[in-house]
Amino acid sequence: MKTSSHERTLVLIKPDGVQRGLIGDIVGRFERKGLKIVAMKMVQATKEMAAKHYYWSEEEKLASGNRTINAYESKGLKPNKSAIAYAEDTQRKLIKFMTIGPVVAFVIEGAHAIEHVRKVVGSGNPLQADMGTIRADFTIDSYIIADESDRAARNLVHASSSVNEAEREIKVWFKENEITDYDLAIERILY
């Protein structure tokens, strides 16, 4: 039975996760949680795909850039760019990183899927991720190290942050006919 809390979300195992051979470990975390994978494929992202994936509205750019400015200020550093410039720099790094090797893209479906997936994945900054999450357990990278190297953080996984973002991102990676509708035996217990 599908409820109003039933959602779809996109997860990407980024090139660092693929290269480190963590696909099975990462996928297993979601399956053990009781979430259902309804689409999956390995893809070599083009720059165009990555740019569509990391599309941000002006409002999203401002929010991202302001988070960067706040992080600099909390470290006692003086920001030297506008919020938009920081956000566009972040986008450039993310797009470059997403295209350096294959990614595994998959769609997860279930009750509160977006929130559950983001809890399993952990904070975007692995240094701040809670133990037991993918990012805390499998990487020691951080935004600090990434900034010093002028690159995106190697945080293994992308997970959509909202219903609207998930809907937009899923369309970048999958056609609707590539998403399967089926029932898992465990759904009778969970739902």
Rg, the chain, Cα only: 17
List residues bridging with 42 in a β-sheet.
104
> One of 6, 53, 112, 158 is an active-site residue; which one?
158
Residue 34, amino acid: G
16 contacts 156 by C-beta, under 8 angstroms: yes
Distance CA 124, CA 160 (A): 11
Give the tokens for residue 110.
């279930």
* Known catalytic membership, residue 53: no
Q: Which residues are catalytic?
A: 158
